[in-house]
Structure formats: structure tokens, C-alpha cells
């Protein structure tokens, strides 16, 4: 946490801060020495959600934002300034400005997937604790290095896999893990399919000059050079493998993460992965799979199917055992025996009750206790998705060594675990 002395030192050397008289102890229930100072990098769709949710939390002070879109920056700074009743929240175009401020304890990261690694590396090196959106990274190699950086710097990390903080998902996982439906043999994970045109443009395929309010070359960053097309940037970057990973990777940190949590697979992974996918025409504006199915083999002869666009796989996560099944989705939970859902039996393996995903992060920054979704867990949860995409690209079944975290005896597939960043960017 930022102490009174650190805040005064920061002000003395010219760091902007929104700490006002009331924040120094007057008319404020939380003294400054107990308050986490927070900044957000990327305040578009998800990042504006970060601002909204973190402002509801206790024990923090928002001090800065960074975004390459001037509109996003202005809008979210106004929200924070209104909340605090001043004009003190710093607004930057470059995230490096945030990392250089010693008075900032933690950062939340809500940039497109292809920027996760660079921003998170910078935060870890700067000694900031990190809340980062799911999936962990654009690709496996980048994600693995992010885990190493966070661990080496001893940083608190919370991934935006917020379903672990919801009661129905917690209850479902606890039932499964404690044997309520017997030995699990099959897990089904249903995800969205297709593409959603968030840009809503009349001519979404036209190449134009980037608008003045967007620093487009910087937005591309480590991704391959591409001409500006409005329908490929905000929100829609998910549907281009240069910047995202399609519906599979957009949701792997949610329902696959829950599947792993219920099975106790936070420290392991599949042994085999195969997948099929349907892709747009080569000249289409987007290139990620619109319909897909990934089948993974796990220890103890468990099969997990991840699918989007297949009616036989219901949306959400379903665990099927030799004594029944449990299914969860957002706001929903069902079981083959409805009585299980009313059971008050004390679990042999209890699952933690969260105060809320964002509040838990702030609490963990203070206590230095691990969150529900640290970086190493996010890496494991996303791995079936990365491997599933590679299996679709190659058309081959992949052998995966979960202990060593590497593809076995397939050099071409191994090369797809990472990529070379566009110069001058590198980790």
C-alpha cells in the first residue's frame, strides 16, 4: 500500500496524484496508509467496466488511466473525477507513464490480448500488483513468460476470470470436487460461436486513414502491420488471430476455467488435444473460427469437450460422473439430483467464498495472499484453448506434456505456441 510518506514524496518530485485533503485522513474512513493506489491501462469496453467495479471497492484510490483512444480516456477520467469530486485523475496516452510512478501500487490491464504481455511485463518490473483480463495472453509462450515475471517479482495477480467469485459456480465446483456425482468421466464446455460485429459500421471492410483520436500504430504494437479498418479494432479485435483468439480464447478463461476449478486441474492440463473448426473465407475481414470443437484427454481417463456451435454441447460447464451430473452457467446451476443443490453438508474440500472479484484483488494486495485466479492458474485454464486452435490449424492430434508444458514431437505445432513480435516490440 502507498504510505503517507510515499504520497508526499511522489508529490514532491512532480507525480500527479488525486489524493486530496480528505484522502489524507479527514472525513475518510480509510486512512491513506491502508489504501491501495490503482491505475488502469486500457479503458475501452472492459476497461470502463474495471473503472466502474473498482470504484465500488473499499480501500483503494484511483490515481491514473492510460489509453490510446482519446475518447475512452476522456470519458473514464470524467467518471473517476466525478466520483472523487475533483480533477485529479491523471490521463496518459502511454502506459509507461503509469509504470514510472512510484506512488501507484497496482494496475488493472484491459487492453486487447496482443498487448497483455508487454503491459504486464512492464508492471511486474515496476513492482506493481496486477489485475489482468482473461485470457492470460495472446499465446502460450507469452503467457508462460508473464507467469515467470509475476512470480519473480513476487506480485499479486488476479485474472479477470470472475466466475470463480460467483456463488453458483463456487457451489457447482465444490459439489463436483467433493464427489457429489461420483467419479467424473466427461466434462462438457459450451461456448459461443460465430462473430459479433461490435463496430456496427455500414462498410466494415473499407481501409481508411486512422482517426485522429486513436494512436493506431501504437494500438497495433506487437501485432503484424495491418491497414486500419474500423471493424477490426475496438471489441472486434477478438475475431482476428493477429490480435485475439476468436470465441474460443475469448471464453476459455470463463467456462474452461470453471471446468478446471471443479476438477482440481489448476496445476495440470490435458495429455491429448484434437480439434476441428470452420473458418471464414480468406478475404474476409475476420479470420477466427466461427464453429469449433476441441476434445481433450485428461488424467484418470477424463474427456473434456469444448465446443461452440454444436447443439449437443450446452452453454456453460457440465461435469458428468458415474452417479449423476452438475451444470453451471451464468446465474444458473442444475444437477441430476436437485437435492444436491439444497444440501448443507460441510464439504471435505471447501471452496472459498469471495467478497467480489475486484474487492478480492484489493484485499490480496493488502494481505499478500494469493487470489482465486493467479497468473499460473490462468495459464493452465487457457492452455486447452491455445492447443485447440493449434490442433485446428494443423489438423493433427497433439500430445501435450502437462508437467513440462510442451508439445511432444511436433516441431511445427510447437512453433505455434508463440510468435515473433513486430519490431521494435519484444518481451
DSSP letter at 18 equals: -
Looking at the structure, tell me whether residues 172 and 254 fall in a common domain. yes
Cell numbers of 349, please?
474440500
Whether residue 357 lies inside any domain: the answer is no
**Once rounded to an integer, what is the mean pLDDT over residues 83-90?**
94
With bands split at pLDDT 50, 70 and 90, how would you rate the model's confidence at 183?
Answer: very high
Looking at the structure, tell me whether residues 270 and 391 fall in a common domain. yes
Report in angstroms the alpha-carbon separations of 301 from 23, 141, 275, 399: 56, 27, 18, 15
How do residues 310-331 score in pLDDT, each as one tens digit? 999 999 999 999 999 999 999 9
- Burial of 427 from C-beta contacts in 10 A (0-12 / 13-18 / 19+): middle
**Whether pLDDT at 11 is above 80:** no
Is it true that the peptide bond before 351 is cis, omega within 30 degrees of 0? no
Domain residues for 185?
A: 167-198+227-347+375-415
Give the whole-angstrom CA distance, residue 182 versus residue 256: 20
Choose the final residue of a domain: 109, 142, 163: 163
**Once rounded to an integer, what is the mean pLDDT over residues 75-97?**
96
**Whether pLDDT at 16 is above 80:** no
Q: Which of 10-14, 115-119, 357-361 has the lowest mean pLDDT?
A: 10-14
Note the pLDDT of residue 30: 52
- Taking the model in full, what pTM does it have? 0.91
Q: List the one residue out of 118, 136, 135 whose CA is nearest residue 219.
A: 118
DSSP letter at 267 equals: T
With bands split at pLDDT 50, 70 and 90, how would you rate the model's confidence at 283?
Answer: confident
Question: Hey, is 328 helix, strand or coil?
Answer: strand
Whether residue 421 lies inside any domain: the answer is no
Q: How many CB atoms lie within 10 A of CB 285?
A: 18
Looking at the structure, tell me whether residues 120 and 173 fall in a common domain. no
Note the pLDDT of residue 33: 62
Looking at the structure, tell me whether residues 148 and 177 fall in a common domain. no
Average pLDDT, the chain: 92
Q: List the one residue out of 143, 75, 159, 71 whose CA is nearest residue 110.
A: 159
Beta bridge partners of 307: 190, 293
Residue where the block lists cell 503509469: 98
Cell numbers of 258, please?
470453471
With bands split at pLDDT 50, 70 and 90, how would you rate the model's confidence at 170?
Answer: very high
DSSP letter at 226 equals: -
Distance of CA 299 to the CA centre of its chain: 26
**Whether pLDDT at 393 is above 60:** yes
What is the rounded radius of gyration, in angstroms, for the C-alpha atoms of the chain?
22
How do residues 188-229 score in pLDDT, each as one tens digit? 999 999 999 887 766 777 899 999 999 999 999 999 999 999
Cell numbers of 360, please?
478480492
Whether residue 114 lies inside any domain: the answer is yes
Question: What are the counts of helices (DSSP H) followed by strands (DSSP E) for the chain?
Answer: 13, 15
Q: List the one residue out of 263, 231, 224, 217 whose CA is nearest residue 377.
A: 263
How do residues 285-305 score in pLDDT, each as one tens digit? 999 999 999 999 999 999 999
Give the whole-angstrom CA distance, residue 185 versus residue 413: 28
Note the pLDDT of residue 201: 66
Looking at the structure, tell me whether residues 190 and 317 fall in a common domain. yes
Choose the final residue of a domain: 144, 163, 182: 163
Cell numbers of 239, please?
475475431
Looking at the structure, tell me whether residues 159 and 249 fall in a common domain. no
Residue where the block lists cell 495491418: 226
Give the whole-angstrom CA distance, residue 162 versus residue 267: 19
Looking at the structure, tell me whether residues 159 and 172 fall in a common domain. no
Helix/strand/coil percentages in the chain, nearest 5? 40, 20, 45
**Whether pLDDT at 90 is above 90:** yes
How do residues 223-251 score in pLDDT, each as one tens digit? 999 999 999 999 999 999 999 999 999 99
408: CATH = 3.30.360.10
Looking at the structure, tell me whether residues 108 and 175 fall in a common domain. no
Note the pLDDT of residue 407: 98
Give the whole-angstrom CA distance, residue 148 versus residue 207: 39
Note the pLDDT of residue 174: 97
Give the whole-angstrom CA distance, residue 287 versus residue 352: 39
Distance of CA 427 to the CA centre of its chain: 19
Looking at the structure, tell me whether residues 133 and 234 fall in a common domain. no
Across the beta sheet with 302-308, what order do the strands follow? 332-335, 324-329, 316-321, 184-191, 302-308, 291-298, 272-278, 398-401, 406-407
Choose the final residue of a domain: 163, 180, 215: 163
With bands split at pLDDT 50, 70 and 90, how would you rate the model's confidence at 187?
Answer: very high
Q: How many CB atoms lie within 10 A of CB 381?
A: 29
Q: Look at the chain and report how many structural domains it folds into.
A: 2
**Once rounded to an integer, what is the mean pLDDT over residues 31-48?**
90
**Whether pLDDT at 83 is above 60:** yes
Question: Hey, is 189 helix, strand or coil?
Answer: strand
Write out 349-391 in H/E/C secondary structure: CCCCCCCCHHHHHHHHHHHCCCCCCCHHHHHHHHHHHHHHHHH
Residue where the block lists cell 453438508: 345
Looking at the structure, tell me whether residues 85 and 116 fall in a common domain. yes
Express as a percent the part of the chain with pLDDT over 90.
87
**Once rounded to an integer, what is the mean pLDDT over residues 44-72?**
97
**Once rounded to an integer, what is the mean pLDDT over residues 383-387?**
98
Beta bridge partners of 272: 297, 399
Looking at the structure, tell me whether residues 240 and 278 fall in a common domain. yes
Cell numbers of 293, please?
470443437
Amino acid at each position: 500500500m502507498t504510505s503517507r510518506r510515499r504520497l508526499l514524496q511522489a508529490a514532491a518530485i512532480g507525480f500527479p496524484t488525486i489524493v486530496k485533503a480528505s484522502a489524507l485522513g479527514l472525513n475518510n474512513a480509510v486512512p491513506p496508509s491502508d489504501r491501495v493506489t490503482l491505475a488502469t491501462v486500457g479503458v475501452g469496453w472492459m476497461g470502463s467496466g474495471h473503472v466502474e467495479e473498482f470504484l465500488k471497492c473499499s480501500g483503494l484510490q484511483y490515481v491514473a488511466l492510460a489509453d490510446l483512444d482519446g475518447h475512452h480516456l476522456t470519458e473514464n477520467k470524467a467518471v473517476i473525477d466525478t466520483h472523487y469530486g475533483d480533477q485529479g485523475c491523471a490521463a496518459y496516452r502511454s502506459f509507461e507513464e503509469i509504470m514510472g510512478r512510484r506512488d501507484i501500487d497496482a494496475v488493472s490491464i484491459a487492453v486487447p490480448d496482443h498487448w497483455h504481455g508487454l503491459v504486464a511485463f512492464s508492471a511486474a518490473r515496476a513492482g506493481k500488483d496486477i489485475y489482468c483480463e482473461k485470457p492470460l495472453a495472446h499465446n502460450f509462450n507469452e503467457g508462460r513468460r508473464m507467469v515467470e515475471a509475476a512470480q519473480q517479482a513476487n506480485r499479486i495477480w488476479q485474472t479477470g476470470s470472475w466466475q470463480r467469485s460467483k456463488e453458483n459456480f463456487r457451489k457447482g465446483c465444490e459439489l463436483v470436487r467433493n464427489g457429489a456425482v461420483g467419479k467424473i468421466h466427461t466434462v462438457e464446455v459450451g461456448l459461443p460461436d460465430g462473430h459479433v460485429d461490435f463496430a456496427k459500421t455500414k462498410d466494415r471492410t473499407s481501409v481508411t486513414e486512422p482517426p485522429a483520436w486513436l494512436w493506431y500504430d501504437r494500438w497495433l504494437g506487437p501485432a503484424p502491420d495491418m491497414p486500419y479498418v474500423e471493424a477490426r479494432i475496438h471489441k472486434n479485435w477478438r475475431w482476428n488471430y493477429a490480435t485475439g483468439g476468436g470465441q474460443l480464447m475469448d471464453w476459455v478463461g470463463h467456462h474452461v476455467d470453471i471446468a478446471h476449478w471443479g476438477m482440481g486441474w489448476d496445476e495440470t492440463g490435458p495429455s491429448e488435444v484434437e480439434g476441428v473448426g470452420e473458418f471464414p473465407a480468406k478475404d474476409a475481414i475476420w479470420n477466427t473460427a466461427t464453429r469449433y470443437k476441441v476434445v481433450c484427454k485428461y488424467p484418470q481417463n477424463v474427456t473434456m469437450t469444448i465446443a461452440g456451435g454444436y447443439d449437443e454441447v450446452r452453454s456453460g460447464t457440465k461435469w458428468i460422473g458415474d452417479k449423476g451430473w452438475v451444470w453451471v452457467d451464468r446465474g444458473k446451476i442444475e444437477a441430476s439430483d436437485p437435492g444436491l443443490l439444497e444440501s448443507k453438508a460441510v464439504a471435505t474440500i471447501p471452496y472459498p467464498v469471495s467478497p467480489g472479484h475486484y474487492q478480492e484483488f484489493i484485499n490480496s494486495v493488502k494481505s499478500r495472499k494469493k487470489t482465486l485466479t493467479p497468473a499460473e492458474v490462468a495459464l493452465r485454464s487457457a492452455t486447452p484453448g491455445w492447443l485447440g486452435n493449434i490442433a485446428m490449424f494443423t489438423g493433427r492430434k497433439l500430445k501435450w506434456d502437462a508437467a513440462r508444458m510442451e508439445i511432444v514431437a511436433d516441431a511445427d505445432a510447437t512453433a505455434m505456441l508463440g510468435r515473433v513480435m513486430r519490431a521494435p516490440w519484444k518481451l
